[in-house]
Amino acid sequence: MAAFSRTQMNPDSFHHSQIKFYLALLPIAVFMLFPIIYIFSTAFKPMDELFLFPPRFFVRRPTLDNFRKLLEQTKTTIPMSRYFLNSLIITGAVLLFSLFFSSMAGYALSKLKFRGKKLWFEINQLALMFVPASIAIPKYLVIEKIGIIDTMFAHILPVMAIPVGLFLVKQFIDQVPDSLIEAARIDGAGEFMIYLTIVAPIIRPALATVAILSFQAVWNNMETSQFYINAESLRTFAFYMNTLASGEGGATIAGQGVNAAASLVMFLPNLIIFVFLQSQVMSTVAHSGIK
């Protein structure tokens, strides 16, 4: 009887008892999809459909004119490919460093014993409380003091490790049995080898979540190029696209198509990486202690 109840509550395949959940979740899913559908639709609208009143939600005659205009609105002597390459380099470096530092620090805080371990974790939890705007001035002063204004390091160094990433990884590593770690130590494995061969494969869902969070924070970041970078050749693709979309005519009805095209170009990489890694995100939430 108990086995039957478990099958009814969480069946391996579709069961008629799940219909009520689909009926409750489907309207919410459709409502949350509206902004995404609207961006896609507006990005492909021709000029006459942008001026329609009342506005039409779905595009009737899709066109690539908005994307063509977006690429033609070059306002600097720097080619667009340079901005795109900068974003690729910065995003790749941040992902690499963020995954490495978050996982290594998470392993140390979870499985190693050293003085001040609890204090360091509490400091990381305290950092979660601060919104970016509240630390903008102190961060600028630090970046200026260490002399990385107008360099690639100004893009990379402030986001090499994010507090929420360390928290998620540490909570996930807490689920790894201590007996597994001790067995590896008895066999003569060093701490780095234990981390590399045992812990890292187990925490792949957490690392995927950190990768998504880091990617979104860096790929969509315009503030760094605006506040810390003066050389146009060091600015990012997000800053460039925002400049084009919000430039002359961007606030008019005619400019909304270009705005939507720019938003779609910036949004698609986020959507793609989340679609491929969303199952790992759900696994991380289930094991990280987040309620």
Whole-angstrom Cα distance, residue 236 to residue 87?
A: 5
Instruction: Quickly count: other Cβ atoms within 10 Å of residue 185's Cβ.
Output: 12
Burial of 72 (0-12, 13-18, 19+ CB in 10 A): exposed
Answer whether the bond into residue 54 is a cis peptide, omega within 30°: yes
Q: What Å distances lie between residue 155 and 68, 78, 119, 267, 287, CA to CA? A: 29, 19, 28, 20, 32
Upper half-sphere CA count for residue 188 (Cβ side, 13 Å):
0
DSSP 8-state code for residue 18: G
Neighbours of 285 (CB within 10 A): 16
The SS3 call for residue 82 is helix
Provide mean pLDDT across the span 203-210. Answer: 86
Q: What is the rounded average pLDDT of the residues 72-79? A: 69
Question: Which residues, in sequence order, are CB contacts of 288 under 8 Å at separation 6+?
Answer: 167, 168, 171, 172, 206
Q: What are phi and psi of 268, to 5 degrees?
A: -55, -45
Contact criterion met (CB below 8 Å) for 78 and 243: no
| Dist. CA 42–CA 55, nearest whole Å | 10
Better-scored residue on pLDDT, 283 or 196: 196
Q: Which two tokens stand for residue 284?
A: 């991380």
Of the spans 4-13, 25-34, 244-253, which averages the highest pLDDT?
Answer: 25-34
How does residue 283 score in pLDDT terms, banded at 50, 70 and 90?
low
For residue range 163-198, list pLDDT tens digits in order.
888 888 888 888 888 888 888 888 888 888 988 888
- CATH code of the region 92-239+272-287: 1.10.3720.10
> Phi, psi at residue 223, to the nearest 5°?
-65, -35
User: Residue with structure tokens 């899709």?
Assistant: 62
Please list, in sequence order, all residues whose beta carbon lies within 8 angstroms of the beta carbon of residue 263, skipping any fewer than 6 positions away: 39, 43, 245
> What's the pLDDT score for residue 14?
64
Q: Which two tokens stand for residue 208?
A: 């995927």
- pLDDT in the model for residue 6: 45
Contact call for residues 94 and 214 (beta carbons, < 8 A) = yes
**Rounded CA separation 165/150 (Å):** 27
Among 238, 4, 219, residue whose Cα is nearest residue 95: 219
Under the banding of pLDDT at 50, 70 and 90, the label for residue 289 is: very low
User: 92 and 248 in contact (C-beta within 8 Å)?
Assistant: no
Confidence label for 7 from pLDDT (cuts 50, 70 and 90): very low
Q: How far apart are CA 108 and CA 113, in angstroms?
A: 8
Question: Cα–Cα distance between 45 and 43 in angstroms, integer?
Answer: 6
- pLDDT surpassing 70 at residue 4: no
